[in-house]
Amino acid sequence: AYSSEGGAEKKRVQSPFEKVTIFGSGLMGSGIAQVSATYNHSVKLVDLNETALEKSQKYIMSSLKRVAKKKFPESTSDQVKFCEGVISKIQFTTKAEEAASDADLVLEAIVENVEIKRKLVATVDAVAPNSVVFATNTSSLKVGDIFANISEARRPNVGGLHFFNPVPQMKLLEVVKADTTSQETFDKMFNYGLSIGKVCVSCKDTPGFIVNRLLVPYMLEAMRMVERGDATAKDIDSSMKYGAGYPMGPFELADYVGLDTSYFISNGWYTNSELKGNDLVKPPKNLKDLVDAGRFGTKSGAGFYDYTKK
Ligand code: 3HC
């Protein structure tokens, strides 16, 4: 029963939350802040320093401009009004406690490190209102592990909300029901997703949920094909784009997601998850070599492809 197609505009679902506090102003956190604000939430976006927040503000503004151009092709003044209206609903702040103590939904999109995430959970646990729903945007860790030490009373109020890059464009939201998540919390998270125009699906707390569980082994197998000398990265990318209709081939996608991230996910699953020792998720040597050489993909200028020369 829990899946949706068409999103909020069709279903006109009202969000159960008014105030959304997001931790982590990277690509994901910024995107989540942008869509939450676009659909009328009052947003606080928290990071450790002003530099990160300024970068995020610029990223959100440039993404909003793309959206605005499509929404109001005829009128630059409407475009400006739209962008300014949305950005004014986002408060950029370094004050973690203050932001957590005044929220209906807290969503964390910080670094993929269970210890660092647990520290944030403890901070929020100490100050957030009892009723707060606390969700993680983790893509590879177990939701239950992140919230393992949260106070007993809050256990029913935690879960996963997993977005996809670029957040304003990708329609899917995976809504994760962890072992302790109550039906009420799950329903609230699901309806929040519908209210921000996403197609929502229900997932269990398993490695990679739905999308990454399929996507990661697929990308790794593409890397192994290159290692075996079966085909070149470019030919594999062309094949999946023009033969299977994917918007990006596996190597373009791996470079886009970040090779450091792809390696981190596959190594984490291979060494420390219920997929431990499973060859499907074993990090290929060519991936590790690129990461060791600092080639992280588009964000560092090179990965499987070189983005510095046109
Ligand atoms: N903000 C707003 N809109 C954006 C955007 C952004 N940051 N980036 C792209 N768009 C919009 C464009 O405005 C354009 O809209 P239109 O079609 O309505 O005119 C549309 O997206 C397409 O953009 P472009 O024409 O510039 O470029 P492409 O056609 O090459 O599309 C892409 C870019 C949307 C990234 C597309 O290649 C794609 O869908 N790639 C696959 C992405 C994917 O699989 N993401 C999931 C990765 S896994 C993940 O995120 C999980 C995590 O846990 C690791």
Q: What is the pLDDT of residues 89-114, one digit of tens each?
A: 999 999 999 999 999 999 999 999 99
Catalytic residues: 139, 162, 174, 212
Whether the pLDDT of residue 7 is over 60: the answer is: no
> Which range among 9-18, 49-58, 267-276, 280-289 shows the weakest confidence by mean pLDDT?
9-18
164 Cα nearest atom in ligand 1: 50
> What CA–CA distances, in Å, run from 278 to 43, 96, 273?
41, 39, 10
When pLDDT is averaged across residues 15-42 and rounded to a whole number, the result is 97
Residue 4: band (very low, low, confident or very high) from pLDDT cuts 50, 70, 90: confident
Taken in order of first residue, the domains within the chain and their CATH numbers are 7-204 (3.40.50.720), 216-299 (1.10.1040.10)
Q: Spell out which residues line ligand 1, taking CB within 6 angstroms.
A: 63, 66-67, 70, 139, 164-166, 168-170, 212, 215, 247-248, 253, 257, 261
Annotated binding-site ranges for CoA: 63, 70, 139
How far, in Å, is the centroid of ligand 1 from the Cα of 60? 14
Instruction: Please name the residue whose Cα sits nearest to atom 35 of ligand 1.
Output: 166
Strand-pairing partners, residue 202, are 175
Protein residue with its CA nearest to atom 6 in ligand 1: 63
pLDDT tens sequence across 217-247: 999 999 999 999 999 999 999 999 999 999 9
In this prediction, residue 6 carries a pLDDT of 60
pLDDT tens digit sequence for 111-156:
999 999 999 999 999 999 999 999 999 999 999 999 999 999 999 9
Q: What percent of the chain has pLDDT over 90?
A: 94
Q: 3-state class of 19 per DSSP?
A: strand
User: What is the distance in A from the centroid of ligand 1 to the CA of 87?
Assistant: 21
Could you give the CA distance from residue 193 to residue 8 in angstroms, rounded to a whole number? Answer: 8
Candidate from 32, 66, 111, 176 with most ligand 1 atoms within 8 A of CB, to mutate: 66
Residue 310 confidence (pLDDT): 65
Compute the distance from residue 165 Cα to the ligand 1 centre, in Å. 7
pLDDT of residue 238: 98
Peptide bond into 156 cis (omega under 30): no
* Mean pLDDT computed over 53-72: 97
C-alpha 135 – ligand 1 centre gap (Å): 24
Residues at the annotated binding site?
Answer: 24-29, 47, 63, 70, 112, 117, 139, 165, 299
> In whole angstroms, how far apart are CA 170 and each of 28, 63, 162, 174, 294?
12, 13, 11, 12, 28
pLDDT-derived band at 12 (thresholds 50, 70, 90) equals confident
- Going by pLDDT thresholds of 50, 70 and 90, the confidence category of residue 1 is low
Q: Indicate if the pLDDT at residue 79 is higher than 90.
A: yes
Task: Give the C-alpha separation, 258 to 291, whole Å.
Answer: 9
Average pLDDT along the chain? 96
User: Which residue has the least CA distance to atom 3 on ligand 1?
Assistant: 169
Q: State how far the Cα of 180 lies from the Cα of 164, in Å rounded to an integer.
A: 24
pLDDT recorded at residue 294: 97
Q: Which atom of ligand 1 is nearest to the CA of 66?
A: 13
**pLDDT given for residue 8 in this prediction:** 55
54 Cα–ligand 1 center, Å: 23
Which ipTM was obtained for this model?
0.93
Looking at ligand 1, which residue's alpha carbon is closest to its atom 19? 70
CA gyration radius, the chain:
20
Q: For residues 69-89, give the mean pLDDT.
A: 97
- Closest C-alpha to ligand 1, atom 51: 164
The answer to whether 157 touches 103, Cβ cutoff 8 Å, is no
pLDDT of residue 309: 79
Whose Cα sits closest to atom 31 in ligand 1?
Answer: 247
Residue 30 has pLDDT above 70, yes or no: yes
Contact 202, 175 (CB under 8 A): yes
Per-residue pLDDT tens digits for 159-210: 999 999 999 999 999 999 999 999 999 999 999 999 999 999 999 999 999 9
Q: How far is the CA of 228 from the centre of ligand 1 (A)?
A: 31
What does residue 119 show for φ and ψ, rounded to 5 degrees? -60, -45
